[in-house]
Structure 1
Amino acid sequence: MTEFSTFVSHLECGLTHESDYEPGVVHGLSRAGRPLLVRYDLDRIRDSVSRDEVWSRGGGFWKWRELLPVTKTENVIALGEDDTPLISCTTLAHDLGVSGEIIIKDEGRLPTGSFKARGLALAVSMAKEFGIKRLAMPTNGNAGAAMAAYATRAGMESYIFCPDDTPDANVREIALQGGKVWRVNGLINDCGKIVGEGKEAMGWFDLSTLKEPYRIEGKKTMGLELAAQLGWDVPDVIFYPTGGGTGLIGMWKAFHEMEALGWIGSKRPRMVAVQATGCAPIVKAYEDGERHATLWQGAHTFASGIRVPVAVGDFLILDAVRESGGFAIAVDDDKIENARREIGAREGVLVCPEGAATYAAYKEALKDGRVGAGDRVVLFNCGNGLKYEMPEMAGRLNRNEPINYEDLKK
């Protein structure tokens, strides 16, 4: 991989905007206990590279190296990353009678089969840069799988704790990729408590969502990549499955950085945070006019990736939603499952439950007028649908009896 210059200037607290956090040293949360954001010398980047030069490179999200914090190429941990496709859903648009384009961005094509590869690749690479040897995190599945894969590739230990009902494919994937994994009789915040309380005894670094500054930087590449794929434009609306919300926060950051670089204009997509009705702390905070969410009690949804009862970056999610003119919306599990089946049957695209939630939310917002029939919308499918349990739907035939082929048409 070609050696690139790096342009990190400092880090700042996302809540207080204190900006005296030096790059090049290990950071967790800010002094206010909130996420730290990486800032860049954008003037220097603008003078050193063009958007088309960056976009012409290979290497998936690593092509954006000037806008990433890794300082030495030897610390880049790569597993064959590539850009994820935009799939135009013309059949769904026809079914709904809309003139605007419905686009699925299929993040399930990344290494480890989910968009978590973006954030964890950056976080693990920075851990390598800092000489960290042991990592830990709570997970609902995909993040743990990504951390295990990249940590193993980097020669690090990984300790991963997941709720009891985490999809079995995720748990087995973590173990097969070198992670040490445990099921816990609780939710992801309970798993996070185990990680936090074990720091001193285990000497691990906590890679929980937004408790270090670099997962956001990996996730923001979704916004960089999307704009480039759309000819340096942005869609009207982005529907994003929101648990910890790192990707939504990261994309919002990316759009601001690109405008400052002169790569895009001032237009912004309306950012929509999609949750399940069984776990919707961001939706409740949005509807109540609050900047911070409260812990969601009794969280439940089969879309496990968005079953996050509390998010340390809640205010950053809500800020992006409100500043963009977007909204937060919750859909129930039945509508999520129906959306998964509809996308598969009508477009031939197998999405994960969290990705299906974005289509269910789009349909609800279309009905109540929060999005228009002419809007170009992007729905983020965050994981490969093959990693999730699927219903048994096949018929059966007895080869020893005559087959009525007309019946097969029914």
Structure 2
Amino acid sequence: MVNIVYQCTCCNKIINKPPTPVWLCECGKPLYVHYEWEGIIRDILIDEKIESLWRYVSVLPKECLNENISLGEGCTPLISVSKNIFVKDETVNPTGSFKDRGMAMAITMAKIQNVKKICLPSAGNAGVSASAYCEAAGIDCFVFLPETIPEPFINETKRYNAELVLNGKTISEAAKTMIDHKKDDWFDISTLKEPFRVEGKKTLGYEIAEQFNWSLPDVIIYPTGGGTGLIGMWKAFKEMLGMGWISGRLPRMVVVQSDGCSPVVNAFEIKQNKTEFWPNSDTIALGLNVPGPLGGYLILDIISESNGIAIKVPESSLQIETEDFRKMTGIDASPEAGVVWSSYKTLLDSEWISNNEKVVLFATGIERR
């Protein structure tokens, strides 16, 4: 990986040649991928013939030029629902969620690094996505799900021939079970424990910029569990600034969570620079049921740097808010979209967002029935 160096997101250590497959820093915190082209002004370089995230291969690891595992992820629509409100519809990805972006890259790089078996805990969509991409790559996949997971997620994961273990009520409890079962030759691709899911998710940022003709909206409202998408987009924005692909002020990033599980919002409100574990988490927005996000400090840094905000919405309102979002957009989205829609209305009413600002809302996954 000659065009890559790694930097710890916590201790800032630079690592040129880490052991493979690449995982966490020695200090136990996530690594960022950095490239030789960062900070160098250059022309916009995308492959317009490719209608997937791989059109942005010029800003991804060079190894992906020769080999990538793709099911057609990315290039999802940005739908205008009113003068200044846009919805990024990630439900049209191959397995129905934004997780496909991260998994396409993580599984591609796992295969390049000769990984034969992977494992991960999941709140639902990540397990489905990992199973699909592992099947395409010929990699064995072991998925650990909470026993409370709805049956459609189980059925979809089994569809791709993954090995399933059900235990606990949250992704954190499923992760503990995974650690107990993990074999030495299983590569753990849990959120932020390897650096390439972020690289896949950062294509959201490049794609939004391209769809806005290489400009950016004023505000992005993002439903946040582990936060990989938020972290990836912010990384993309900084990369594009450095290359001269965009200019001007970056979007204010809004982290939204349910009050049934809101560790990031709680830390933001009490002005902490890291999150604390959220006990007894419970929300129908399964992707947000992440009581102990590994990258909590990164999410909080992005909120601060972007002059953003973190807000929570009542769990009791999610079903109604989700139905309103579905009626407005025609997207059969999961309850995370209800969190986004409720948050947008709250911020508009409080005048934190004005009517003349361009706002991107996210529909991160389909409703599985």
TM-score by length of 2: 0.95
1:306 aligns with 2:288: yes
The equivalences for 1:5-404 within 5 A come to 8-22=3-17, 25-42=20-37, 46-47=41-42, 50-51=43-44, 53-54=45-46, 56-69=48-61, 71-90=63-82, 101-199=84-182, 201=183, 203-385=185-367, 387=368, 389=369
For the Cα contact (< 8 Å) 2:39–2:242, is it kept in 1? no
For the Cα contact (< 8 Å) 1:10–1:23, is it kept in 2? no
Q: Distance in 2 between matches of 1:354 and 1:317?
A: 18
Structure-2 change in CA distance of 1:7 and 1:115 (3 Å)? farther
Q: Distance in 1 between matches of 2:4 and 2:189?
A: 23
Say which structure is richer in helix.
1
How far is 1:17 from its partner? 1.3
Alignment correspondent of 1:402? none
Q: Secondary structure at the match of 1:271?
A: strand
Q: What is the letter of the counterpart of residue 109 of structure 1?
A: V
Q: Secondary structure at the match of 1:274?
A: strand
Unmatched segments (≥5 aa) in structure 2: none
Which protein shows a greater Rg?
1
Q: Secondary structure at the match of 2:95?
A: helix
Q: What is the letter of the counterpart of residue 79 of structure 1?
A: L
Q: Distance in 1 between matches of 2:3 and 2:257?
A: 33
Q: Secondary structure at the match of 2:7?
A: strand
Alignment correspondent of 1:399? none
Q: Secondary structure at the match of 1:113?
A: coil
C-alpha distance after superposition, 1:200-226 (max 9, x if no partner): x35201010001111000000000100
Q: Distance in 2 between matches of 1:346 and 1:81?
A: 25
Structure-2 change in CA distance of 1:198 and 1:261 (3 Å)? same
Q: What is the letter of the counterpart of residue 135 of structure 1?
A: I
Structure-2 change in CA distance of 1:188 and 1:82 (3 Å)? closer
Q: Distance in 2 between matches of 1:72 and 1:272?
A: 32
Q: Distance in 2 between matches of 1:31 and 1:115?
A: 29
For the Cα contact (< 8 Å) 2:39–2:239, is it kept in 1? no
Give the superposed CA RMSD.
1.8
How far is 1:192 from its partner? 1.1
Q: What is the letter of the counterpart of residue 375 of structure 1?
A: E
C-alpha distance after superposition, 1:219-271 (max 9, x if no partner): 00000100000010111110001000000000000000001011000310000
Q: Distance in 1 between matches of 2:253 and 2:64?
A: 34
Report how many aligned residue pairs link the two structures.
369
For the Cα contact (< 8 Å) 1:7–1:67, is it kept in 2? no
Q: Distance in 2 between matches of 1:235 and 1:118?
A: 21
How far is 1:373 from its partner? 2.1
